[in-house]
Amino acid sequence: MTTQPFSMQGKTGIVTGLANADSIAYGCARALHQAGAEMIVTYGHPKAESHVRPLVGEMGDPELMLCDVLDQSQVDALFQRADERWGKLDFLIHSMAFAPRDDLHGRVVDCSWDGFAQAMNISCHSFIRLARQAEPLMKEGGTLITLSYYGAEKVVDNYNLMGPVKAALESSVRYMAAELGPRGIRVHAISPGPIRTRAASGIQDFETLARDAETRSPLRRLTTVDDVGQCAVFLASGAGQSLTGSTLYVDAGHNIRA
Ligand code: NAD
């Protein structure tokens, strides 16, 4: 077990978006568990259950729940369960994104309204909805974290439709941070470098992005889900108490390159 420099002892929260052992959600849940947190971990589709169930040991045997953010009854059940178990929440990790393949693989100029709306709904507005339901449970403050990507800020080949969607997500983080800050609720986006996950496999020519990150990032390494998990722990722990509204790059420094 890795030694954690930051403590999450006594903290309780929700980690969403676990699909398999490659998921960023897995790195976050493992790191949060190692720091002492208790969690409910959610997966988005019933078919994922056989992949995620064997992973519970490394996450400290959290409760697993199915939570498709398009199904409000599942979202309600999630927050009801957190309320029953702990009566409070300290953190929530939103680690999910989706865009229909045809829209994702085409030009932004050509994307359909339905595809755009669906991508915004699952990848951006769901964070706002989850935050709204988490707020009353974050009685002593808390931390809300979502996942973004550099394609929000600059044009990255093949990131296409997800660029404007992640830009909206990062802007939402800033507005939510301003609105929830007076209640002690901090809001962040973590922006990792390319990681080989199922979601990433939907990006055309993803391997070129990964190779570029590995060979040109200042630290000459690919980001791992554990790197993202460590950052999530730092942000959610007391060490992050004076930070909010930021988009933090966890990308071996790749974002400083032209
Ligand atoms: P992943 O495929 O492991 O996770 C994506 C998750 O989104 C899956 O668990 C999936 O079930 C979930 N999801 C999709 N639709 C959903 C819905 N309707 N309801 C609930 N969940 C739903 O891939 P990942 O790379 O771990 O992705 C997690 C986040 O990290 C995403 O926001 C992604 O954009 C972001 N991100 C990934 C990378 C990368 O290179 N992998 C880089 C930067 C940011």
Please tell me the residue having the least CA distance from ligand 1 atom 34.
97
Pocket test for ligand 1, best of 18, 22, 24, 78 (most atoms within 8 A of CB): 24
pTM (predicted TM-score): 0.98
249 is catalytic: no
| 112 domain-assigned | yes
- Name 147's bridge partners: 190
| 3 domain-assigned | no
| 181 domain-assigned | yes
| pLDDT per residue as tens digits for the range 3-40 | 678 999 999 999 999 999 999 999 999 999 999 999 99
| pLDDT per residue as tens digits for the range 76-131 | 999 999 999 999 999 999 999 999 999 999 999 999 999 999 999 999 999 999 99
Task: Establish whether residue 223 lines the binding site of ligand 1, counting it when its CB lies within 6 angstroms of any ligand atom.
Answer: no
| 109 domain-assigned | yes
Task: Establish whether residue 41 lines the binding site of ligand 1, counting it when its CB lies within 6 angstroms of any ligand atom.
Answer: no
The residue behind tokens 């865009």 is 99
| 5 domain-assigned | no
DSSP letter string, 128-176: HHHHHHHGGG-BTBEEEEEE--GGGTS--TTTTTHHHHHHHHHHHHHHH
Catalytic residue among 26, 150, 159, 249: 159
| 80 domain-assigned | yes
Total domains in the chain come to 1
| 255 domain-assigned | no
Task: Establish whether residue 194 lines the binding site of ligand 1, counting it when its CB lies within 6 angstroms of any ligand atom.
Answer: yes
Structural domain of residue 240, as residue ranges? 12-250
Task: Establish whether residue 95 lines the binding site of ligand 1, counting it when its CB lies within 6 angstroms of any ligand atom.
Answer: yes
| 1 domain-assigned | no
Task: Say which CATH number the domain at 205 has.
Answer: 3.40.50.720
b/e 193-217 (16+ beta carbons within 10 angstroms → b): bbbebebbebbeebeebbebbbeeb
Instruction: Locate all alpha helices (DSSP H) within 55-112, ordered by sequence.
Output: 72-86, 101-105
